Structure 1
Amino acid sequence: MRSINIGLTDQQREGVIALLNKDLSNLYLVLVKTKKYHWDVVGPQFRTLHQLWEEQYETLTETIDACAERVRTLGGYPVGTMEGFLKMASIKEHSGDIPSATEMVARLVQDHEQIIRDLRDHVEQCSESFHDEGTADFLTGLMEQHEAMAWMLRSFVEGEAVRADGHSPSLNEKTAVGV
């Protein structure tokens, strides 16, 4: 890396770049999984999931570019091979099977929640260990995006009745209306 004078030491920037490359790897892997499920989904939920996943993979594509550009901004180079992504990612691919639509959603929820946990840890490391508030802020924004994606997917599989006041109906209310 060339000497960059932005108020961070080379070691701080290298630490942040390593975190960003892990995040980039997770983002790329969840993009591939989302696209694959977009192509393979069948059943009564086809149209809804097909459209939702198209929206999500378009957002992920923009996010991946922003993450790679953040790495470059700090003087590093983003990981850019499938081998590299698979080595650095904390989420795993599920090659060799085509699950049901509900299982596809459940797997993506797990992946987004893992990404959220990793981002939460990386935000703290960027701020506390590396004193890079700019990247901490950037990662906070990514975390919020993934929280929204996970919520949308989680809402799809939860399917529990909720009253207008936001609470779940009691057992008596459920049996009275046949829920």
Structure 2
Amino acid sequence: MHKINIGLTEQQRHGVMNLLNQDLADAYVLLVKTKKYHWDVVGPQFRTLHKLWEEHYQELTINIDKIAERIRTLGCYPIGTMAGFLSLATLKEHSGKIPTATRMVTQLVEDHEQIIRNLRNHIDQCGEEFHDQGSADFLTGLMEKHEEMAWMLRSFMEGEALESDGQKQAGGTKVPVGV
């Protein structure tokens, strides 16, 4: 076998692989949850959420493939079993009763936010501990995609009336959104 010589030690590459495998596991659990909610959602927002979650699980599928390919780029192998995913994931499976549409959205927001927090930590570790700026950059792009999906889901739950300039009314006074 050809020795990999990309400026990272074997220990650094394996350290990054461990982080990426956790990210892969979380992405897979989130994919399964998103697919399940896509199938099970009911209520007045069915069509909107059904379509949104279809977009999300398609994006998650692409991301999963990219994470696995990044692991292979480093000369390592991604996990690929449900048992492996569940043992490494920080997200929990959803089992039991089917939640309401609003609870589904809330759970997915919480999962995306957990992944975002994990990715921030992994970005720092890749750059500072393992000196792999390529993987840090890769994870930054992945984090931005999760931030966008979380924003879309949070926006679905927010129902405040806003002015066209991004201000909301608070006791007759305009207040910048997010304040």
| Pair in the same fold by TM > 0.5 | yes
CA-based RMSD of the aligned residues comes to 1.3
In the aligned structure 2, how far is the partner of 1:15 from the partner of 1:128? Answer: 12
Aligned residue pairs, count: 173
In the aligned structure 2, how far is the partner of 1:101 from the partner of 1:20? Answer: 31
- 1:107-144 Cα deviation digits (max 9, x unpaired): 00000000000001100100000000110010000000
Q: Which residue of 2 is the match for residue 141 of structure 1? A: 141
Check conservation: 1:2, 1:75, Cα contact below 8 A.
Answer: no
Q: Which residue of 1 is the match for residue 18 of structure 2? A: 18
- Pair 1:9 & 2:37 matched: no
Check conservation: 1:3, 1:10, Cα contact below 8 A.
Answer: no
Instruction: Give the structure-2-normalised TM-score.
Output: 0.93
In the aligned structure 2, how far is the partner of 1:8 from the partner of 1:37? Answer: 41
Which structure shows the higher helix fraction?
1
Q: Which residue of 2 is the match for residue 63 of structure 1? A: 63
SS of equivalent to 1:119: helix
Check conservation: 1:29, 1:91, Cα contact below 8 A.
Answer: yes
- Pair 1:54 & 2:54 matched: yes
> Identity over aligned residues, as a percent?
68
In the aligned structure 2, how far is the partner of 1:48 from the partner of 1:76? Answer: 40
Which runs of no fewer than 5 residues in structure 2 stay unpaired? 174-179
What is the one-letter code of the residue matched to 1:112? H
What is the one-letter code of the residue matched to 2:131? H
Q: Which moved more, 1:45-54 or 1:81-90?
A: 81-90
Which structure shows the higher strand fraction?
2
In the aligned structure 2, how far is the partner of 1:2 from the partner of 1:10? Answer: 13
Q: Which residue of 2 is the match for residue 177 of structure 1? A: none
Q: Which runs of 4+ in 1 moved over 2 A?
A: none
Q: Which residue of 1 is the match for residue 176 of structure 2? A: none
Q: Which residue of 2 is the match for residue 86 of structure 1? A: 86
- 1:40-97 Cα deviation digits (max 9, x unpaired): 0000000000000000000100110000010011011101111111111111112112
Instruction: Give the structure-1-normalised TM-score.
Output: 0.93
Which runs of no fewer than 5 residues in structure 1 stay unpaired? 174-179
Check conservation: 1:113, 1:150, Cα contact below 8 A.
Answer: yes
In the aligned structure 2, how far is the partner of 1:167 from the partner of 1:32? Answer: 37
